[in-house]
A and B are shown apart, each in its own frame.
Chain A
Amino acid sequence: MTRVEGYGRIDRTRTVSFTFDGVPYTGHPGDTVASALLAHGVTTLGTSVRLGRPRGVVGSWTEDPGGLVQVEEPFPEPMLLATTLEVTDGLVARGVAGRGRLAQVADTARYDHRHVHCDVLVVGAGPAGLVAARAAARAGQDVVLVDDRPTPGGTLTGTETVDGRPATEFVDAVVAELAAAPHVTHLQATTAFGHYDDGFVLALERHGETTGRSARQRVHRIRAGRVVVAAGAIERPIVLEDNDRPGVMLASAARDLLHRHGVLVGREVVVFTVDDAAYAAALDLHGAGAAVRVVDGRAQAPAGWAARCAAAGVPVEAGTDVRGTLGTDRVRAVLVGETRREVPCDLLLVSGGWNPTAHLFSHVGGPLAFDDELVGFRPAAALPGTTVVGAANGTFALADVLREAGGADAPSAEPEVITPRRTLWRTPGDPARQFVDIARDATVADVARAVGAGMTSVEHVKRYTTIGTAHDQGKTSGVVASGITAELLGRPVGALGTTTFRPPYTPVPFAALAGRDRGDLYDPVRTTPVHHHHVAAGAVFEDVGMWKRARYYPHPGEDMATAVLRECAAVRRSVGVMDGSTLGKIDVRGPDAAVLLDHLYTNLMSTLKVGRVRYGVMCGDDGMVLDDGTVLRLAEDRFLVTTTTGNAAHVLDRMEDWLQTEWPHLRVRLTSVTEQWSILAVAGPRSRDVVGRVFADVDVSNDAFGFMTWQDTALDGVPVRLARISFSGELAFEVSVASWYAADLWVRLLEAGAEHGITPYGTETMHVLRAEKGYPIIGQDTDGTVTPQDLGMSWVVSRKKPDFVGKRSFARPLNSDPGRKHLVSLLPTDAATTLPEGSQVVAFTDRDPEQHADRGVLPPPPVPMLGHVTSSYRSAELGRPFALALVRGGRDRLGEVVGVPVGDQLVAARIGGTVLVDPEGARRDG
């Protein structure tokens, strides 16, 4: 055990048990897997990804490049840092060889998102963040303070004094003040991981597995008026031979482990530094009982620290360096100076200086520049709305930090003299054994090789060597790599720059970002008011946009084909009813309503009489069909427009776009009434009987209620609109009612039609029936490259209107190409094959030219394509399969036989007109 009495902020009265690499261990609440294992003397946690060398803990928090573990229980999670993973009872973890393993089952934990708005967001609850938050709170501002560690205080260890008191007391006092202040939210274990424009910061709050909180993790989407980055700094190593060996750590990490967890990582310690801060680590470890020796790479040790070391009996050797380490799985000695003098030790602490944690400043484009005094990259310009304070800004002396962050009421601390740092990226040695990024097994030799290959950019070196691309994203290796590259190129590191910081600051589970947007909440589910009746009737649903539409209603034992044939037959021979409520509906109102519609539809709407209905087509500016539907003229200044289900929002958006930005002088208002009105379509020769029975006060005779007209009526005082609209060619009525009453109306229609065997039918039957009549489905029989003329619908294109959207495009050269694809029908000559939708259409090559057959020969590729099958069904009415297809010059080839490859066969099919059932249109009036 390396645990030291009197140190650490862990709860030693309680013990937790966990397993690592199959061995049971104990720790205390407040321990991490790293601290607990180190307390047990375990220094090797895994092996490296490329070379298989032992890897241990180097840092003490998210900067650690070495101590990666795989959690197996309570739920597998890959590639977590032992330094950030809290020990909990029952935790099972193991070391990894550079790669993690995902669970094989779904994660059932809950992840939440939360929106937060505040005046000031402070990132980091170290000394800088605490005083910044306190100052903002005292100024009455809404403050959010987040800090990624479980407890506040940052790097304060308790050995410092603030306002003359131990720093820990100061921390407790500020935390208490913030807790008591109104409008302050203080979250620990919450990592601000991404910073976007206008003060938008993403933060991940971790609740752990066993806390009983409803969500395991929560992403806070914080919108802050001002962002204060007080995220501290990360110590960086000095590269030396065999520096990847367990037992080589950052000086700050050893100090942190001692003060947070009471773990003394080594008994015989060499501290190699070019920076003052490591002296504090040396003295603290010495004070906790270790034998410590300092090697200062600078010409002279700083006088103040040297004196304190002398007083404590810590030897200090300046003007030399550490060249390498010896040992097997753990350091047993280091090699000092040019003579490579062997100095026994079980721990080498290194400190090459500090990299300000300016990631959140950099995410929003804040420039970083190399500061020669700091020997590091720090924020180089002001950024509106973002302030960087403390070590994140390159300010290190505690008194300066407090002043910078706290402003007028900043507390005071002892002044410090900081001796200039030395720029030292690496010491002399064998570059092939000097590790720059131990997470990627990348050495100085690799950097040299990249430079030798001609690379002059740090981005290239990073990509060539993979330095900085591991879980830690180069928190300790990135700047070192820049420094070494600059040395090799003979250029200043500042001119070379460093690679860009990108979100996230630390890894974030996919599931946390997905939040609750999974399963049914991935996308809203829209259902009609009649939905429960469809469910009760055993309907099979299809997704159309966000809507669930009943596709067919199988009876027991029926497959789709059988059910659809039955439903089709019912409509053609008697009566069926379909829920058409998902159709888009737009109320167009105002004195200029007709003018707007004339602009937007290819045909004339202004001539439509009140009480009548007209089918209309909309095109894009490019002349391609965009949507279709019926238009009811409700009054001189009012229309009800229907759209296809999937396109409703898009059509409304487009109408608004034209109205607001192009023709704002038009006096029109557009209102979506899709969800206000439900539409039930009653179709079939007996539909008049059914509708007439339910609405006894309406004369539903053909004379009184003609095709493409509408009438209002009421049912038990509830307004109802009836319209003679048919999408099947049969006599049909669309019954519209306020959605509250749709389910009831559905039941009444079924009751009234019972004697005729009224049959609920779904979208599949609707598709078959309309296809038999040659009515296209926009989006199925069109694909954004089809004009109304291609569909054989020139009749819907006005020749009277001077202009409408899309008209000019019809005159483009390509539109008069005789090779354009036309919508036609295809009848397989064997009268048996249902051509798969999506099949291609090619020339038919007979096996035997003498004898026409239903099957031909498919030549080897490439085979020129003539078009494709857009819709294909078996027809109850025709007693055979049929298809609609877009075929080159199709209308000029009626009667010709073409080939449709189906599997290995070439199926013969004859081109025909699109109207296959009731071409005279005799049935629509019943």
Chain B
Amino acid sequence: MSTPEHPDFLWRTPEPKKSYDVVIVGGGGHGLATAHYLAQNHGITNVAVLERGWLAGGNMARNTTLIRSNYLWDESAAIYEHSLKLWEGLEDDLGYPILFSQRGVLNLAHTEQDVRDSVRRVEANRLNGIDAEWLGPDEVAKVCPIVNVSDDIRYPVQGATYQPRAGIAKHDYVAWGFARRADEAGIDIIQDCEVTDFVVDGDRVTGVRTSRGDIACGTVALCAAGHTSVLLDRLGVRTPLQSHPLQALVSELLEPVHPTIVMSNAVHVYVSQAHKGELVMGAGVDGYNGYGQRGAFNVIERQMAAAVELFPVFARAHLLRSWAGIVDVTPDASPIVGHTPYENVLVNAGWGTGGFKATPGIGWAFADTVAHGRPHPLVAPFALDRFVTGALVDEHGAAGVAH
């Protein structure tokens, strides 16, 4: 339960060079993971990661650290399962104690339709080789005794899907682990360096304009999450992204009480207990577009009602801190990864609430995409042109669970 020993050295604070082969815009989890895998898998190290604020200070610092791969559609399951497999070896790969703990996730069903959707997802997961089970209420109570499975709640628990390999990890340490490896490989991680515009030559971008001067580059890899639209607007490239506040919160440190992760869409909350002992919770996005990194309090109140409804023993736990990130969501709740009309500008965005769990997987696949200049098969289904053809990967309509 104690905090791990961090390495003595994490990263340099270099001055930006005049030019790089690859400029990664965004020093969050995805940008840092992309940098790491560019170096490790492809030997590409003349790379800069440009971060407008402090490293991994956006959504990477603000998520609820849930990791799972029990998505409905083949395309989503493939990228998230690839990611989960990488998570399973990540402590060794990074040489960093990221506190990855596979404690399983329960996705609760509260209505008959929830049950149908849950079974559908479990069966799809099994056929895709992903660990998944359907549990009845009694089995739910065995996995997580503090869930109220009795009939005295408004929407009684009808059962749950269970993915035992799901888990949590310490978000900051994951980011620092990737950053350290990237730095070791010679990649420049440059903080307080905001990309404000691009230097364009025909259908290519030859450099980025930043708060610390122009930087020339061969390829631009956008990993800017909620700020992606703002950046692509500079290039006149439109995306179907919308940025929303998403709030989360923690309690004080508590003795172990919650052994797994529980998510519920009908009684809307998701909760796990972190290593130190705090309960970490989230719920739905605030409805309006917003870059303010704060949301409305009624969302928190509703989340607390849901938490106490499902976990009566949480009544006198205390809300210690709440915050918000900026999630970029797409019309089908699936990401946008791949090429843009500018041949050397690649985009990775739209992960909504799924970004953290995808971190190693998308870093791996995006690095491959950047290195080879063509979409890796894992990201090919998430191309921008799906909105034109209609080949959406509709995770909210079908899967119900979007976090």
Contact = CB atoms under 8 A, between A and B. Distances in A.
B391 to A, nearest CB: 5
Contacts of B234: none
Interface of A: 49-50, 75-79, 98-107, 109, 194, 196, 200, 202, 219, 365, 449, 452-457, 459-460, 463-464, 466, 469-471, 473, 502-504, 507-511, 513-515, 517-523, 525, 542-544, 622-624, 779-780, 783-785, 809, 812-815, 836-840, 842, 860-863, 865, 868, 870, 901
Given A50-B2, A513-B301, A861-B128, A838 B317 contact: no
Contacts of B110: 543
Interface string B108-151: 00111101111111111011110000000000000000000000
Interface residues of B, number: 83
B319 interface: yes
B314 A870 contact: no
B127 A102 contact: no
Interface stretch (B194-202, B252-260, B348-356): B252-260
B253 A784 contact: no
Nearest to A71: B316
A508 B319 contact: yes
Contact of B300 (A50, A513, A520, A622): A513
9 contacts: A99-B253, A109-B315, A202-B297, A456-B13, A502-B322, A504-B321, A510-B315, A517-B309, A862-B127
Contacts of B153: 519, 522
Contact of A865 (B55, B74, B255, B312): B74
A509 B315 contact: yes
Most buried by A among B7, B123, B255, B323: B123
Contacts of B113: 779-780
Contacts of B172: 463-464
A101 B397 contact: no
A838 B116 CA distance: 5
B155 interface: yes
A515 B267 CA distance: 16
Nearest to B124: A840
A510 B271 CA distance: 13
Given A106-B313, A814-B391, 15 more contacts: A76-B316, A78-B316, A99-B255, A107-B312, A202-B297, A454-B9, A454-B13, A457-B55, A502-B322, A510-B307, A514-B305, A522-B153, A523-B154, A812-B389, A837-B120
B315 A511 contact: yes
Interface in B236-288: 251-255, 257, 267, 276-277
A838 B117 contact: yes
Contact of A544 (B54, B111, B191): B111
Q: Which 6 A-B residue pairs are closest in the complex by CB-CB distance?
A: A784-B397, A838-B119, A861-B129, A507-B318, A107-B315, A106-B312
A105 B322 CA distance: 26
Nearest to A102: B313
A62 B57 CA distance: 28
A542 B313 CA distance: 26
Contacts of A502: 321-323
B10 interface: yes
B392 interface: yes
B109 to A, nearest CB: 10
A466 B170 CA distance: 13
Nearest to A221: B297
Interface in B54-101: 54-55, 57, 61, 74
Contacts of B257: 101-102
B320 interface: yes
Contacts of A517: 301-302, 305, 309
B254 A78 contact: yes
Nearest to A465: B3
B398 A783 contact: yes
Given A78-B317, A99-B277, A868 B120 contact: yes
Interface in B189-219: 191
B255 A785 contact: no
Given A510-B307, A865-B74, A522 B154 contact: yes
B342 interface: no
A813 B316 contact: no
A19 to B, nearest CB: 19
B318 to A, nearest CB: 3
A456 to B, nearest CB: 6
Most buried by A among B129, B152, B318, B322: B318
Interface in B340-379: none
B300 to A, nearest CB: 7
Contacts of A518: 305, 308-309
Contacts of A813: 389-390
B154 A457 contact: no
Contacts of A470: 252-253
B155 A464 contact: no
A41 B126 CA distance: 63
B254 A99 contact: yes
A453 B6 CA distance: 9
A490 to B, nearest CB: 13
Contacts of B321: 469, 473, 502-504
Given A517-B305, A861-B128, A901-B126, A508 B318 contact: yes
A849 B57 CA distance: 59
B308 A815 contact: no
Contact of A785 (B128, B154, B394): B394
Given A508-B319, A513-B301, A838-B118, A522 B2 contact: no
Contacts of B323: 502
A471 B312 CA distance: 22
B111 A510 contact: no
Contacts of B123: 838-840, 868, 901
A299 B392 CA distance: 71
B6 A464 contact: yes
Given A460-B55, A510-B318, A542-B112, A840 B10 contact: no
Nearest to B307: A510
B308 A525 contact: no
B191 A457 contact: yes
Nearest to A452: B8
Nearest to B250: A469
A640 to B, nearest CB: 26
B79 to A, nearest CB: 14
A78 B318 contact: yes
Nearest to A77: B316
A513 B305 contact: yes
A861 B304 contact: no
A418 B305 CA distance: 49
Most buried by A among B153, B154, B323, B394: B154
